[in-house]
Chain A
Amino acid sequence: MKAYQADIAKFDATDTQVFGMSVDSVPANREFAKQLGVTFPILSDFKRTVVKDYGVFNEEQGFGNRATFVIDKDGIIQHIDEGNEAIDPTKVADTCNVLMHKKAAATP
């Protein structure tokens, strides 16, 4: 999340809303955000329904994975980073850039 924070201006420039998400409570996430200096909102999936929808949580093992999804303006997933790949936001930022230019090309 720190890496995303460092690149937050880049994401703002590509018309992108960045969210963190965890299964911790809102107060726990606030503490976490404070420690890391994260300014973007961190969503609290306390009931663990969304992490299951996104397939990043294994209920039996109570074990989760790190993953980043890029969702375009049509609500379609355009890029997925999983596991250690998800630490580096470069590919995600590139995707957002491409999406912005795609949109720019479509509007004369």
Chain B
Amino acid sequence: MYTRSLICLVLLAVFSVVALGQQAPPKTNLKVGDKAPDFTLRATDGKTYKLSDFRGKKNVVLAIYVLAFTGG
């Protein structure tokens, strides 16, 4: 009986550590309807792009992969 309780406790402790180790990914503070923060960045084609340059011209899709080499 004691052994079983002990095993349960140990398992509980292990699961807690695992749960704590898995940090939730950061959630964006931006919402639909917010103004998109402007940026000026260099791209793979050697050009430098400024978000506000597209205003009145094109919609922009921004697919952000902080760690790019994760595929997808």
A4 in contact with B63 (CB, 8 Å): yes
A58 within 8 A of B: yes
A57 in contact with B26 (CB, 8 Å): yes
Q: How many residues of B contact A (CB 8 A)?
A: 45
Report the stretch among B1-9, B11-19, B53-61 that lies at the interface: B53-61
**In whole angstroms, what is the CA distance A71 to B66 when docked?**
19
> Chain A residues near B44 (CB, 8 Å)?
26, 29-30, 33, 41-42, 44
A19 in contact with B63 (CB, 8 Å): yes
B61 in contact with A69 (CB, 8 Å): yes
Question: What 0/1 pattern do residues 29 to 72 of B give for CB contact below 8 A with A?
Answer: 11111111111011111110101101111111111111111111
Q: Which residues from chain A sit less than 8 Å from chain B, CB to CB?
A: 1-4, 11, 14-24, 26, 28-30, 32-33, 41-45, 49-51, 53-58, 61, 63-80, 82-83, 86-87, 89, 92, 96, 99-100
Q: Which residues from chain B sit less than 8 Å from chain A, CB to CB?
A: 23, 25-39, 41-47, 49, 51-52, 54-72
